[in-house]
Amino acid sequence: MAITPRFFGERGRRRAASLGIEADRLPPGQSPTVKWPVLSLGPTPRVSAEQWILSIDGAVREPYVLDWEAFTAVARTEWEGDIHCVTRWSKFGMRWRGASVRELIERAGPLPSAGHLLAHCHGGYTTNMPLSDVLEHPALIAHEADDAPLEPDHGGPARLLVPHLYLWKSAKWIRRLELLEQDELGFWERNGYHHRGDPWREERYSVDEYVARAVRRRARGA
Ligand SMILES: Nc1nc2c(c(=O)[nH]1)N[C@H]1C(S)=C(S)[C@@H](COP(=O)(O)O)O[C@H]1N2
Ligand SMILES: [Mo]
Protein backbone atom coordinates (compact mmCIF):
# COMPACT_ATOMS: atom_id res chain seq x y z
CA MET A 1 0.00 0.00 0.00
CA ALA A 2 3.00 2.35 0.35
CA ILE A 3 3.52 4.81 -2.46
CA THR A 4 6.93 3.64 -3.66
CA PRO A 5 8.68 5.54 -6.46
CA ARG A 6 8.87 3.17 -9.43
CA PHE A 7 12.65 3.27 -9.70
CA PHE A 8 13.03 1.49 -6.34
CA GLY A 9 11.15 -1.48 -7.74
CA GLU A 10 13.04 -1.50 -11.03
CA ARG A 11 16.45 -1.18 -9.39
CA GLY A 12 15.61 -4.02 -7.01
CA ARG A 13 14.38 -6.31 -9.77
CA ARG A 14 17.50 -5.69 -11.91
CA ARG A 15 19.76 -6.42 -8.96
CA ALA A 16 17.79 -9.56 -8.05
CA ALA A 17 18.11 -10.81 -11.64
CA SER A 18 21.89 -10.18 -11.61
CA LEU A 19 22.15 -12.26 -8.40
CA GLY A 20 19.99 -15.09 -9.77
CA ILE A 21 17.14 -14.43 -7.31
CA GLU A 22 13.68 -15.16 -8.72
CA ALA A 23 11.62 -11.98 -9.05
CA ASP A 24 8.72 -13.38 -6.99
CA ARG A 25 10.95 -13.60 -3.90
CA LEU A 26 11.45 -9.82 -3.84
CA PRO A 27 8.77 -7.86 -1.94
CA PRO A 28 7.68 -4.55 -3.53
CA GLY A 29 10.21 -1.71 -3.30
CA GLN A 30 13.00 -3.95 -1.91
CA SER A 31 16.49 -4.61 -3.28
CA PRO A 32 18.76 -7.58 -2.46
CA THR A 33 21.91 -7.17 -0.38
CA VAL A 34 24.78 -9.64 -0.15
CA LYS A 35 26.42 -8.13 2.92
CA TRP A 36 24.40 -8.05 6.12
CA PRO A 37 23.94 -4.41 7.27
CA VAL A 38 23.80 -3.58 11.00
CA LEU A 39 20.91 -1.34 12.06
CA SER A 40 20.90 -0.46 15.74
CA LEU A 41 19.57 2.60 17.52
CA GLY A 42 22.30 2.70 20.13
CA PRO A 43 25.56 0.99 21.04
CA THR A 44 25.65 -2.80 21.02
CA PRO A 45 24.89 -4.03 24.56
CA ARG A 46 27.43 -6.63 25.68
CA VAL A 47 25.45 -9.52 27.16
CA SER A 48 27.32 -12.74 27.82
CA ALA A 49 25.62 -16.11 27.52
CA GLU A 50 26.17 -16.58 31.28
CA GLN A 51 24.30 -13.35 32.08
CA TRP A 52 21.57 -13.89 29.50
CA ILE A 53 18.04 -14.69 30.67
CA LEU A 54 14.70 -14.54 28.88
CA SER A 55 11.50 -13.86 30.78
CA ILE A 56 8.15 -14.97 29.35
CA ASP A 57 5.39 -13.26 31.29
CA GLY A 58 2.37 -10.94 31.26
CA ALA A 59 -1.01 -12.43 30.31
CA VAL A 60 0.05 -16.05 30.98
CA ARG A 61 -0.87 -18.65 33.63
CA GLU A 62 2.73 -19.50 34.51
CA PRO A 63 5.39 -16.91 33.80
CA TYR A 64 8.92 -18.32 33.72
CA VAL A 65 12.52 -17.41 33.07
CA LEU A 66 14.96 -19.29 30.84
CA ASP A 67 18.71 -19.15 31.35
CA TRP A 68 21.19 -19.90 28.56
CA GLU A 69 21.48 -23.58 29.38
CA ALA A 70 17.71 -24.10 29.41
CA PHE A 71 17.37 -22.05 26.22
CA THR A 72 20.01 -23.95 24.25
CA ALA A 73 18.41 -27.24 25.37
CA VAL A 74 15.22 -26.26 23.48
CA ALA A 75 16.93 -24.34 20.64
CA ARG A 76 16.49 -27.00 17.97
CA THR A 77 14.27 -25.23 15.43
CA GLU A 78 15.66 -24.19 12.05
CA TRP A 79 14.31 -21.69 9.58
CA GLU A 80 15.65 -20.97 6.09
CA GLY A 81 14.59 -18.01 4.01
CA ASP A 82 14.77 -14.30 3.32
CA ILE A 83 14.69 -11.26 5.63
CA HIS A 84 13.42 -7.79 4.71
CA CYS A 85 14.36 -4.43 6.23
CA VAL A 86 12.06 -1.42 5.88
CA THR A 87 15.10 0.60 4.70
CA ARG A 88 14.67 -1.44 1.46
CA TRP A 89 17.27 -4.19 1.70
CA SER A 90 16.40 -7.88 1.64
CA LYS A 91 18.88 -10.64 2.42
CA PHE A 92 18.18 -13.93 0.70
CA GLY A 93 18.69 -17.56 1.63
CA MET A 94 19.66 -17.25 5.29
CA ARG A 95 19.75 -20.16 7.72
CA TRP A 96 18.70 -19.50 11.30
CA ARG A 97 18.63 -21.72 14.36
CA GLY A 98 16.99 -21.18 17.75
CA ALA A 99 13.95 -21.95 19.87
CA SER A 100 10.41 -21.81 18.54
CA VAL A 101 8.62 -18.78 20.01
CA ARG A 102 5.32 -20.66 19.80
CA GLU A 103 6.69 -23.49 21.95
CA LEU A 104 8.19 -21.04 24.47
CA ILE A 105 4.88 -19.17 24.77
CA GLU A 106 2.70 -22.29 24.93
CA ARG A 107 4.76 -23.50 27.87
CA ALA A 108 3.73 -20.36 29.82
CA GLY A 109 0.03 -21.03 29.15
CA PRO A 110 -1.19 -17.85 27.43
CA LEU A 111 -4.53 -16.57 28.76
CA PRO A 112 -7.37 -16.71 26.20
CA SER A 113 -7.50 -12.90 26.44
CA ALA A 114 -3.83 -12.49 25.40
CA GLY A 115 -3.77 -11.09 21.88
CA HIS A 116 -0.56 -9.06 21.68
CA LEU A 117 3.15 -9.37 22.25
CA LEU A 118 5.61 -6.70 23.38
CA ALA A 119 9.27 -7.69 22.99
CA HIS A 120 11.75 -5.98 25.34
CA CYS A 121 15.50 -5.77 24.77
CA HIS A 122 18.68 -4.94 26.63
CA GLY A 123 19.31 -1.26 25.82
CA GLY A 124 15.61 -0.37 26.01
CA TYR A 125 14.36 -1.14 22.48
CA THR A 126 10.83 -2.52 22.23
CA THR A 127 8.58 -3.72 19.42
CA ASN A 128 4.98 -4.97 19.43
CA MET A 129 3.03 -7.37 17.25
CA PRO A 130 -0.17 -9.40 17.28
CA LEU A 131 0.41 -12.67 19.15
CA SER A 132 -0.84 -14.54 16.07
CA ASP A 133 2.28 -13.36 14.20
CA VAL A 134 4.48 -15.54 16.41
CA LEU A 135 1.99 -18.38 17.01
CA GLU A 136 0.85 -18.94 13.44
CA HIS A 137 4.06 -18.10 11.53
CA PRO A 138 7.61 -19.35 12.03
CA ALA A 139 9.31 -17.20 14.69
CA LEU A 140 12.45 -17.95 16.67
CA ILE A 141 14.51 -16.82 19.59
CA ALA A 142 17.61 -17.24 17.44
CA HIS A 143 21.20 -17.76 18.56
CA GLU A 144 22.75 -18.86 15.23
CA ALA A 145 22.66 -17.37 11.75
CA ASP A 146 24.26 -18.99 8.70
CA ASP A 147 25.77 -21.72 10.88
CA ALA A 148 27.64 -19.32 13.19
CA PRO A 149 26.82 -17.94 16.64
CA LEU A 150 24.93 -14.67 16.26
CA GLU A 151 27.37 -11.72 16.30
CA PRO A 152 26.78 -9.16 19.08
CA ASP A 153 26.01 -6.46 16.46
CA HIS A 154 23.24 -8.65 15.04
CA GLY A 155 21.69 -9.28 18.46
CA GLY A 156 23.88 -11.99 19.98
CA PRO A 157 23.74 -13.91 22.14
CA ALA A 158 20.07 -14.19 21.05
CA ARG A 159 17.40 -12.19 19.27
CA LEU A 160 13.83 -12.51 18.19
CA LEU A 161 13.38 -13.43 14.51
CA VAL A 162 9.96 -12.85 12.92
CA PRO A 163 10.95 -13.25 9.29
CA HIS A 164 7.58 -12.67 7.61
CA LEU A 165 7.49 -9.08 8.98
CA TYR A 166 9.92 -6.18 8.39
CA LEU A 167 13.08 -6.70 10.40
CA TRP A 168 12.46 -3.95 12.96
CA LYS A 169 10.12 -6.52 14.61
CA SER A 170 13.08 -8.89 15.08
CA ALA A 171 14.23 -7.52 18.43
CA LYS A 172 17.99 -7.91 19.06
CA TRP A 173 19.41 -8.70 22.56
CA ILE A 174 16.01 -9.98 23.60
CA ARG A 175 15.34 -10.21 27.34
CA ARG A 176 11.55 -10.38 27.75
CA LEU A 177 8.46 -11.54 25.86
CA GLU A 178 5.47 -9.82 27.46
CA LEU A 179 2.01 -11.06 26.50
CA LEU A 180 -0.68 -8.39 26.60
CA GLU A 181 -4.45 -8.21 26.51
CA GLN A 182 -4.33 -4.71 25.03
CA ASP A 183 -1.87 -3.66 22.35
CA GLU A 184 1.02 -1.39 23.38
CA LEU A 185 3.25 0.25 20.80
CA GLY A 186 6.99 -0.38 20.62
CA PHE A 187 9.71 2.11 19.74
CA TRP A 188 9.30 2.39 15.94
CA GLU A 189 5.57 1.81 16.10
CA ARG A 190 5.29 4.94 18.31
CA ASN A 191 7.51 6.79 15.84
CA GLY A 192 5.52 6.53 12.65
CA TYR A 193 6.08 2.95 11.54
CA HIS A 194 3.30 0.55 10.71
CA HIS A 195 1.78 -1.45 13.55
CA ARG A 196 2.11 -4.77 11.69
CA GLY A 197 4.77 -4.37 8.97
CA ASP A 198 4.09 -7.03 6.33
CA PRO A 199 6.69 -6.50 3.56
CA TRP A 200 4.48 -8.21 0.93
CA ARG A 201 1.76 -5.60 1.58
CA GLU A 202 4.42 -2.90 1.88
CA GLU A 203 3.21 -1.88 5.34
CA ARG A 204 6.08 0.55 6.05
CA TYR A 205 4.59 3.55 7.85
CA SER A 206 1.43 4.25 9.88
CA VAL A 207 0.41 6.65 7.13
CA ASP A 208 0.17 3.55 4.87
CA GLU A 209 -2.26 2.08 7.41
CA TYR A 210 -4.26 5.31 7.35
CA VAL A 211 -4.37 5.39 3.54
CA ALA A 212 -5.35 1.70 3.34
CA ARG A 213 -8.24 2.28 5.77
CA ALA A 214 -9.41 5.29 3.77
CA VAL A 215 -9.27 3.26 0.53
CA ARG A 216 -11.30 0.43 2.14
CA ARG A 217 -13.85 2.93 3.48
CA ARG A 218 -14.20 4.42 0.02
CA ALA A 219 -14.58 0.99 -1.58
CA ARG A 220 -17.43 0.26 0.88
CA GLY A 221 -18.98 3.56 -0.21
CA ALA A 222 -18.78 5.02 3.28
N1 LIG B 1 17.34 -4.20 20.41
C2 LIG B 1 17.23 -3.74 19.15
N3 LIG B 1 16.68 -4.55 18.23
C4 LIG B 1 16.56 -4.13 16.96
C5 LIG B 1 16.97 -2.83 16.58
C6 LIG B 1 17.55 -2.01 17.57
O7 LIG B 1 17.94 -0.85 17.32
N8 LIG B 1 17.67 -2.50 18.85
N9 LIG B 1 16.81 -2.42 15.28
C10 LIG B 1 15.77 -3.10 14.50
C11 LIG B 1 15.84 -2.76 13.11
S12 LIG B 1 15.17 -1.27 12.66
C13 LIG B 1 16.32 -3.63 12.17
S14 LIG B 1 16.22 -3.26 10.54
C15 LIG B 1 16.95 -4.89 12.56
C16 LIG B 1 18.35 -4.95 12.01
O17 LIG B 1 18.96 -6.16 12.33
P18 LIG B 1 20.50 -6.35 11.92
O19 LIG B 1 21.26 -5.19 12.52
O20 LIG B 1 20.89 -7.67 12.45
O21 LIG B 1 20.53 -6.29 10.42
O22 LIG B 1 17.01 -5.07 13.97
C23 LIG B 1 15.87 -4.61 14.67
N24 LIG B 1 16.02 -4.97 16.04
MO1 LIG C 1 15.10 -1.29 10.31
Is the pLDDT reported for residue 217 higher than 80? yes
Question: Is any atom of ligand 1 closer than 6 Å to the C-beta of 175?
Answer: no
Measured distance CA(192)–CA(206) in Å, rounded: 5
> DSSP alpha helices (H): ranges in the chain?
6-18, 68-74, 101-108, 132-135, 187-190, 206-219
Question: Is any atom of ligand 1 closer than 6 Å to the C-beta of 33?
Answer: no
Q: Whose CA is nearest to atom 9 of ligand 1?
A: 40
Q: What is the mean pLDDT of the chain?
A: 94
Q: How confident is the model at residue 3 (pLDDT cuts 50, 70, 90)?
A: low
| Model pLDDT, residue 222 | 66
For each of the domains in the chain, give its residue range(s) and CATH number, in order of start. Answer: 1-32 (no CATH), 51-220 (3.90.420.10)
Question: Is any atom of ligand 1 closer than 6 Å to the C-beta of 124?
Answer: no
The half-sphere exposure of 120 on its side-chain side, counting CA atoms within 13 A, is 14
Measured distance CA(91)–CA(26) in Å, rounded: 10
Segment 21-38 mean pLDDT = 95
The CA 107 to ligand 2 mean position distance, Å, reads: 30
Segment 107-120 mean pLDDT = 98
Q: How confident is the model at residue 55 (pLDDT cuts 50, 70, 90)?
A: very high
Q: Which atom of ligand 1 is nearest to the CA of 37?
A: 21
Q: Which residues contact 102 (CB under 8 A, 6 or more apart)?
A: 134, 135, 139
The CA 67 to ligand 1 mean position distance, Å, reads: 23
Measured distance CA(193)–CA(197) in Å, rounded: 8
Ligand lying nearest the CA atom of residue 38:
1
Question: Is any atom of ligand 1 closer than 6 Å to the C-beta of 123?
Answer: yes
The CA 215 to ligand 1 mean position distance, Å, reads: 31
Ligand lying nearest the CA atom of residue 162:
1
- Weakest-pLDDT range from 15-29, 55-69, 97-111, 154-168: 15-29
Q: Which residues contact 28 (CB under 8 A, 6 or more apart)?
A: 2, 4, 9, 199, 200, 202
Q: Say if CB 195 and CB 189 are below 8 A apart.
A: yes
Q: How confident is the model at residue 214 (pLDDT cuts 50, 70, 90)?
A: confident
Q: Which atom of ligand 1 is nearest to the CA of 174?
A: 1
| Model pLDDT, residue 211 | 82
Is the pLDDT reported for residue 209 higher than 90? no
The CA 188 to ligand 2 mean position distance, Å, reads: 9
pLDDT in tens, 159-180: 999 999 999 999 999 999 999 9
